[in-house]
Every structure is written in structure tokens, then in C-alpha cells.
Chain A
Amino acid sequence: MNENFIFVPLIIHLAAATIMLFAWGRIKFQRWFAILSNAAALIVASALFGMVWNQGIVTVQSGGWKPPFGITMVADTLAASLVLLTSIVGLAVSIFAAGTIIPQRVKYGFFPILQILFLGLCGAFLTGDLFSLYVWFEIIIISSFVLLTIGGEKMQLEGAVNYFTLNMLSSLIFLTAIAIIYGITGTLNMADVAMKLPLVEHPHLVEVTAIFFLAGFGTKAAIFPFYFWLPSSYHTPPDAVSAVFGGLLTKMGVYAIIRVFSLLYADNALISEIITIAAGCTILAGGAAALVQNNLRRLFSYLIICHIGFMIAGIGIGSVLAITGVIFYLFHDIIVKTNLFMVAGLTHRMTGTSSIRDLGGIYDKYPMLALLMAVPLFSLVGIPPLSGFWPKIGLISAGFTDHKWIISGLIILGSFFTLIAIAKLWAEVFWKPSKEIYARPNFTFWNKLGVKRKLLYLVPIGFLAALSLFIGLGAGVIEPVAERVALELSDTMIYVNAVFKTKQ
């Protein structure tokens, strides 16, 4: 297949967004067209993944300028699989959104913006150039702002203020780092930078850029102590939006950390140390806070933080086994977290509340749905052999083999926190007898919904639940992918050679 194929996912998203902008305000069309275009994107993404899986790393030069002069697009196994996951989530969420996003929001461009968010994510995964990574990040940020605020409810706006401030700050820090990198290496192509950075006369400058990158990406990934924007904003927008955010945005930060630090700062003991410490604090902060939450979606938000800690910890450990764990966890987390927030939406639809105190009785009222919802919940805990369990083996045993006892211990502790948090949640939300539910003006409860609306809830949840079951039971299929990614990342030259089309 032609290497230009890398562009196709991007083109599809952008074209879809443009078309939907032309069809401004036409609700029905936008709903269906969004689902359609995301289905198309999924097909293309799978093709791209297949291409990479068979041919190895694929790269393409925009404008045909040979690297490092043009902007390089690089589809290695990591990028390709993440693009694939993005479009999976994209399809699920666009279906969910079609059922849950109210007409006013659709009228004001919800779906085109969502599409552009996916565009930004795919671009950021695929780009091989530092500055355009920044640009893609800005696309993600601005479209997430819009999705966060669209509708302008009080909660939304207040959450948006925190979200906006800390993310803006982080991207300015990030931009500063890029500028310094250009100042000391005179290039922006990541592979090229990777070659030139070791030659810089002032190594401490290089480390400063590393710190700035860590702060910049760390904020997006919500690691300690940069995560505060997340718990104060993720529970404010519509569920579909929270689902995308919870599933993909923070993982974007994790991806950036993996990419940049495996490429530019490999073998830097100090940096790995800092990362590991940050990871430990993140696990503790997220896990501990998760145990004392009363709002379902905020509980999930803290669990996101806790589990980001797992992945960062793996990056800190850095052995192939650890990275395999991280990648596997990344795959699992993207699917499951997205599903969690959709489940939260479903429970809200059933009971009209997100407060754990008032929730209840779902187990008795909707046993089959409870079973369905149990899948993501217990996958998240990592009840073996569900998806959350496998990567922990990689992470913990990697910690043991490298004698990183503390971080392994913290990962175990974090898993314990998660177990308790979810078990409590199950007892409260599903087992506890339900409170009296009052009818509300302009709020239709689940049992009043039509079949079509119900399907728009259940299809995506079922789809992702099935996927996470597959990741868990078919771990033997996922592990080789994660391992291949880890091996590709373990040696900088693999990436560099792929970009410059040189053979070792």
C-alpha cells in the first residue's frame, strides 16, 4: 500500500468535520453522518494498522520534502494501534452521543468539534515533528474546551476555567521546551533531534527541556502534582464528552511522555527517577482520593489519575517488560475508561442522579444491564482474567526484576484501592435498595425511553464491553502487539532509521 495512506484517517476526520460545518444546525444529518464517518475512520484505521503490522514502521513526508526539512508522519506500531483505538472509541462515542447529546448542543456544532478532536488525536499520534506535535495538541485542547463548555451550564463553565488555565499553562511550558530544543539543535524533526541532542555542549540545558516536557505532558496526562484540573472538570460536561476525555485525553499525555522520553531522553537515569517518583505520588493521590468520593463521575476521575500512575510507573521502570505492561495497560485503559463514563451516563439515565448516596437498586431493577455494566467495572479492577489484570503482571514483575520494590508495592496498593473503590461502588449503586425516584420536568427516565434511544445507549457500551472481554480473555493476542511496541521503543535507532529510510 502507498505510504500516503497514513494521511487518510486525518483527511477523513477533517473532511467529515468540514461537511458537517456546511450542514450547520441540521441535527438528524449530523448525528447519522458522524456515526457513518467514524465507522469509515475505523475501517481505514484498521487497514493502517494492518499495513504497519505487515510492513513495519511506515513514514511519509508531507510536501515531499526529505527529512528533516518537511514534516514527517510516522506510523509505528504504537501510533498505528493508538489511531485504531481512537477510532474505535470514536465510533462508540459518536453512537452514544447520537443518543444522548441534546439537540441544542448538536445545533451548535457538537459533532464537527468532536470530529476535529479525533483529528487532533490521530495527528498527534502520527506526527514525527515536535512543533507540529504542539499544533496537534492545541487542536485537541481547543476542541476539548469547546466540548467542555458547549451548552454553557454553570458547572461546565466553572470546570472549564480550571481546565483551561492549567492546560494553557502546560502548553506554554511545552512550547518553551520546543523553542529551547530548536535553539540548541536547530531542528524540530524528532528523529533528527534524537540524533543531535547527545552532541549538545550543555547537557544541563537538555535536562531542563526534559523537565519542561515532563511538566507539559504531565499536566495533560494528569500526573502528580499537575492533575488538579481533571477532577474539577471531568464530571461537568455531558457523559459522551466525559467518555472521550476519560478514554483518550489523558492517554494522549501518556503517549507523548512515552514517545518523547523514549526517543530524546533514553538512558537518562535522573529523568527516569523523577518520573518514577511522580508516578508513585500519582497512584497514592488518585487511589486514596477515589475511596472518599461521592460523585460517580468524580470517583472515576480519580481512578483515571490512579491508573495513569501505573502507566507512568512503567515508563519510569523502563525495561521492555515494563513498557509491554504500559502499552497493554494503555490499550485496556482507553477502552474501559471510555466505557465507564458511558456506564455512568446510563446509571444517570436510570436514576436521574450521579451521587452515590442516592443511587441504588440497579441490580434488582435491571439485572441483565447490571451484568453488562459489571464488565467494564471489573475489568477496571483487573479481576483476573479480565483486561486490567494482565498488564499488572508485566508492570509488577518488571519492578521486581529491576529491584524497584517501592513502585511495585505502590502499584499493588493502587490495585487494592481500585478493588475497594469499585466493590464499594457496586454495593452502593447496584446492591443498595433504590431511593424513591421522583419524576422530573423535561427528564425522561430509562424505562420511559424508546427502543431506538435505548439501543443508542446499549450498542456502544456492549461494543466496548465485548472488546475489553476480548482484551482480557484474548490477552495472548494483545501481548505480542504490546511487546512489539516495547521492542520498537527500546532502541532509538529503529525509529530514526525508519524516518531517514536508512538501514543499520
Chain B
Amino acid sequence: MNLLLPIVTGVLYAAGIYMLLRRSFVKLIIGFTLLGNGVNLLIFLMGRLAKGKPPLIPDYADVIPGLYADPVPQALILTAIVISFGLQSFAIILIKRVYAIANTDDLDEINTTDDYA
């Protein structure tokens, strides 16, 4: 799994970036979701893998005995997930509004701000 998960991470990054390069705004947002998952997985890997050992202190002890999963990346990912949820929900609504105004999600149709005024 120390080999497979890095590959999965890479796949998620690749897929995300590929989606960012499409012309559809929806695909772009999906791309960000994929990238976000990739990043979370990467952070998780950075704490190294420890199978089946959640960072919980058992009732009988004051500290975790033996090997356990690194809690720090978990905390970071939790924060990251929630933050990206906030941003994504905003982006999703942005899709809706842009579609309502431009009546398309083709990014090439909504680039008037780069024209010369």
C-alpha cells in the first residue's frame, strides 16, 4: 500500500489538473474536488501509514501504547476538508449564477473582462 496510495494520489492530481484544463466550468469545479481529495490523501501519507491504530487513548491508559497513526495530519486534513467544502459550495453556487447570467458554462463565453475597454 506504500506504493499504491502514492500512485492513487498521483492519479487524483493528474485527473484534477486534466479537468482544470477543460472549457466547462462544471468540469473545472469537479477538477478542484478531485485535486482536493488528492491533497488530503497526500497529507495523510505524509504522516506515514499505520494500519488500524487510531490515535485514541484507551480508557485504561493515559498515553497511547505502541505504534499509532499520526494524529497531526488527520487534524490538518479535517481542517482542509472543511475549508475546501466552504470554498466548493461557494464555487458550485458560482456555477449556478454564471449559468443564469451567461446561459452557458463554457469558459470561453465568459471572458469579456479581458477585452480592451
Contact of A179 among B39, B86, B117 (CB under 8 A): B39
* A232 to B114 alpha-carbon distance, docked (Å): 5
**Contact at B101–A294, with CB atoms within 8 Å?**
no
Contacts A164-B94, A168-B91 aside, 20 further interface pairs with beta carbons under 8 A come to: A135-B83, A142-B86, A142-B90, A152-B97, A152-B101, A154-B102, A154-B112, A155-B113, A161-B98, A165-B28, A172-B35, A172-B36, A175-B43, A179-B42, A179-B43, A180-B46, A182-B47, A182-B73, A183-B47, A231-B114
Within the complex, the shortest CB–CB distance from B37 to chain A, in Å, comes to: 11
Q: Name B48's closest neighbour in chain A (CB-CB).
A: A183
A and B contact pairs by CB, cutoff 8 A, 13 listed:
A146-B90, A154-B101, A161-B98, A161-B107, A168-B32, A172-B35, A172-B39, A179-B73, A179-B76, A182-B46, A188-B72, A232-B114, A235-B117
Which residue numbers of B lie inside 8 Å of A, CB to CB?
20, 25, 28, 32, 35-36, 39, 42-43, 45-47, 72-73, 76, 79-80, 83, 86-87, 90-91, 94, 97-98, 101-102, 107, 110-114, 116-117
Given A179-B39, A179-B42, A182-B73, are A157 and B97 neighbors across the interface (CB < 8 Å)? Answer: yes
Contact residues in A for B116 (Cβ distance below 8 Å): 293-295
Within the complex, the shortest CB–CB distance from A180 to chain B, in Å, comes to: 7
Any B CB within 8 A of the CB of A162 = yes
**Contact at B79–A145, with CB atoms within 8 Å?**
no
Contact residues in B for A164 (Cβ distance below 8 Å): 91, 94
Any B CB within 8 A of the CB of A341 = no
Proximity bits, A138-182, B CB within 8 Å = 1, else 0: 100110011001001011011111101100110010011001101
* A158 to B102 alpha-carbon distance, docked (Å): 9
Any B CB within 8 A of the CB of A236 = yes
Contact residues in B for A172 (Cβ distance below 8 Å): 32, 35-36, 39
Within the complex, the shortest CB–CB distance from A422 to chain B, in Å, comes to: 18
CB proximity to B under 8 Å, residues A179-212? 179-180, 182-183, 188
**Contact at A161–B80, with CB atoms within 8 Å?**
no
Any B CB within 8 A of the CB of A245 = no
Q: Name A153's closest neighbour in chain B (CB-CB).
A: B101
Within the complex, the shortest CB–CB distance from B57 to chain A, in Å, comes to: 17
**Contact at B90–A145, with CB atoms within 8 Å?**
yes
Contact residues in A for B73 (Cβ distance below 8 Å): 179, 182
**Contact at B117–A158, with CB atoms within 8 Å?**
no
